[in-house]
Amino acid sequence: MVSRIIPVEPFDLVIFGGTGDLARRKILPGLYRRFCAGQMPDDARVIGAARGDLSDDDFRDMVGAAIEEFVPKDRRDAKTIKEFISRLHFVTVDAKGTDGWDALAKLVRKDVVQAFYFSVGPSLFGDLATRLHKHKIANAEARLVVEKPFGRDLETAKALNAVLASSFDEGQIYRIDHYLGKETVQNLMAVRFANVLFEPLWNAQYIDHVQITVAETVSVDGRGAYYDKSGAMRDMVQNHLMQLLCLTAMEPPSRFDPDAVRDEKLKVIRALDAVPVENIVRGQYGPGDDVEGYVEHSENPDTKTESFIAMKVDISNWRWKGTPFYLRTGKRLKARMSEIVITFKETPHSIFGEDAGSHANVLTIRLQPDEGMDLRVTIKEPGPGGMRLVDVPLDMTFADALGPEAEDVPDAYERLIMDVIRGNQTLFMRGDEVEAAWAWTDPIIAGWTERGDRPQSYEPGSFGPEDALMLLHRDGRRWREIRK
């Protein structure tokens, strides 16, 4: 495989919340890796901005330590770390006041690509955007990178969009959903739109159902205050699972360009049916041997927040009418496993008779771990004894198929940050898309809130609540196992 690292133009990237958790875990280690890959030009600079009183050197030490902690040892090199951190600067800035803005204005160059990453709580987005504008720091092409959560409902998302729009154009706003930066998620588009094999079958006539699972083993320990207000629906479904659903279900865009792709995703969201209560299962992990339950991680002893949700979603359009999409995500489940499973219909008639068994092709797109795809095809079981059918996998684990470079794929954040610098919005959410996603989500959440529904308890390390299994059983289907 030929490595094609395309260097980007010189840039100043300002990270508001530069000392925060996301910056330390993902953004700065990601930039270091792009630096190692030779993608950062000599005069690219990264500027941390936060409330803390840090010097450039303090910030560099902090980032050096973050790289030690979050970049695997075999990808670290003392000399390169030193070179990378020499590109870093720090400015103390008060997002809600006047301190630091003049210093930032002096530091940020006007004649390079400017990117401002809002790695802070959404309550500060408006303040930051307004001050960047007011202090004339941002030039006309400056890019704003906005982290999730983008609002907590339609109303707050609209307000956020409006406040950003008062200082910046939509073409400058990069709303991050890091699932769109994952290698396999983009591969889903390549598989669908760069092969003739699947697209003719990619519809309700040939696909029985689709399952999208994002299972995690982590708990919400340490994030209880945030999670209590969000739950799995806001934290995962409204954004990450919705994006996976959109890319699976959308019509082929005419070009792989930002608005063509986002127009098609938007149409899918707008075609989603309201979800009746019987098609939703909410769960909350209970305590287990030696592990605490959700209640212990929450700030509210009577919490009704869901750490798990499964739902059956119908899309009312010509392509998908009659083919359900089952979504499922949860914390503290049996394994960390994210995948999209497309189960095709059985052949209309089995020429081999009932004894040969019935079989359906299944295409599994594995997001993590072991990124890759697996297509189960039906063949004859070898040997004598007549025609017995058996399913075998055509497995393509990217690391096996594409060699060591496939193991070195950029992390979602690395890719997305470089897209910001390049000015490519294809993998970012447009304002109307986020609003449409909330418009679908809001009544679902309002339903269980008004009814006062309590999520069902499930055992840590399990597949989630029993009722989630029933959601498929009652349709004569079953979930793919959550496996290690």
Residue 279 C-beta: closest distance to ligand BG6, Å: 23
Measured distance CA(293)–CA(288) in Å, rounded: 7
Binding flag, residue 147, ligand BG6 (CB under 6 A): no
Answer whether 211's CB lies under 8 Å from 343's CB: yes
Which letter does DSSP use for residue 333 in this model? B
HSE-up of residue 129 (Cα within 13 Å, Cβ side): 23
Exactly one of 89, 178, 209, 240 is catalytic; name it.
240
The radius of gyration of the chain from alpha carbons, rounded to an integer in Å, stands at: 24
Q: How far apart are CA 36 and CA 75, in angstroms?
A: 9
CB of 316 to ligand BG6, least distance (A): 28
Please name the residue that has the structure tokens 């709303």. 175
The distance of closest approach from Cβ of residue 25 to ligand BG6 in the complex, given in angstroms and rounded to an integer, is 10
Whole-number minimum distance, CB 87 to ligand BG6, in Å?
A: 26
Question: x/- contact string, 214-233, with ligand BG6 (CB under 6 A)?
Answer: --x-x---------------
Which of 47/437 has CB closer to ligand BG6? 437
Smallest separation, CB 35 to ligand BG6 (Å):
22
Q: Render 190-254 in DSSP notation, one character per residue.
A: HHHHS-TTTGGG-STTTEEEEEEEEE-----TT-HHHHHHHHHIIIIIIIIIHHHHHHHHPPPPS
Encoded tokens for 24:
């330390």
Sole residue written with tokens 């280690």: 29
CB-CB contact of 108 with 137 (8 Å): yes
Report the residue number, 12 or 339, with the smaller CB distance to ligand BG6: 339
Q: Nearest to residue 367, comparing CAs of 385, 341, 344? A: 341
Nearer to ligand BG6, 67 or 412 (CB): 412
Nearer of residues 54 and 146 to ligand BG6, judged by Cβ = 146
Strands 143-146 and 113-118: parallel
DSSP 26: I
Q: Please give the Cα distance from 443 to 241 (Å, whole number).
A: 17
**Cβ closest to ligand BG6, residue 130 vs residue 217:** 217
What is the closest distance, in whole angstroms, from the C-beta atom of residue 417 to ligand BG6 in the complex?
15
Q: 294 Cβ partners below 8 Å, 6+ apart?
A: 219, 220, 284, 285, 286, 303, 305, 307, 332
| Residues 6 or more apart whose Cβ sits within 8 Å of residue 213 | 327, 328, 329, 337, 338, 339, 341, 479, 480, 482
482, 463 contact by CB (below 8 A): yes
In whole angstroms, the minimum distance from the beta carbon of 412 to ligand BG6 comes to: 7
Q: How far is the CB of 233 from ligand BG6 (least distance, A)?
A: 12
Nearer to ligand BG6, 33 or 148 (CB): 148
Angle between helices 258-270 and 431-451 (to 10 degrees): 20
Q: How far is the CB of 474 from ligand BG6 (least distance, A)?
A: 29
Other CB atoms within a 10 A radius of the CB of residue 296 amount to: 12
Exposed e or buried b per residue across 121-132, where buried means at least 16 C-beta atoms within 10 angstroms of its C-beta:
ebeebbbbbebb
Residue nearest to ligand BG6 (CB): 235
Residue 216 or 419 having the CB closest to ligand BG6:
216
Judge whether 178 counts as a catalytic residue: no
Mask for 274-293, x = binds ligand BG6 (CB under 6 A): --------------------
Query: Under rule CB under 6 A, which residues in 72-131 are in contact with ligand BG6?
Result: none
Q: Which of 111, 33, 124 is nearest to 74 (CA)?
A: 33
Contact pattern for ligand BG6 over residues 171 through 210, marking x by CB under 6 A: ----------------------------------------
Asked if residues 104 and 98 have their Cβ atoms less than 8 Å apart, the reply is no
Site for ligand BG6 in 38-77 (CB under 6 A): none
Q: Contacting ligand BG6 (CB under 6 A), which of 12, 235, 371, 419?
A: 235
Number of residues that bind ligand BG6 (CB under 6 A): 4
The smaller minimum CB distance to ligand BG6, of residues 148 and 312, is found at 148
Q: Which of residues 25 and 422 has its CB atom nearest to ligand BG6 in the complex?
A: 25
Which residues are the active-site residues? 240
Which residues here bind ligand BG6, judged by CB under 6 A?
148, 216, 218, 235
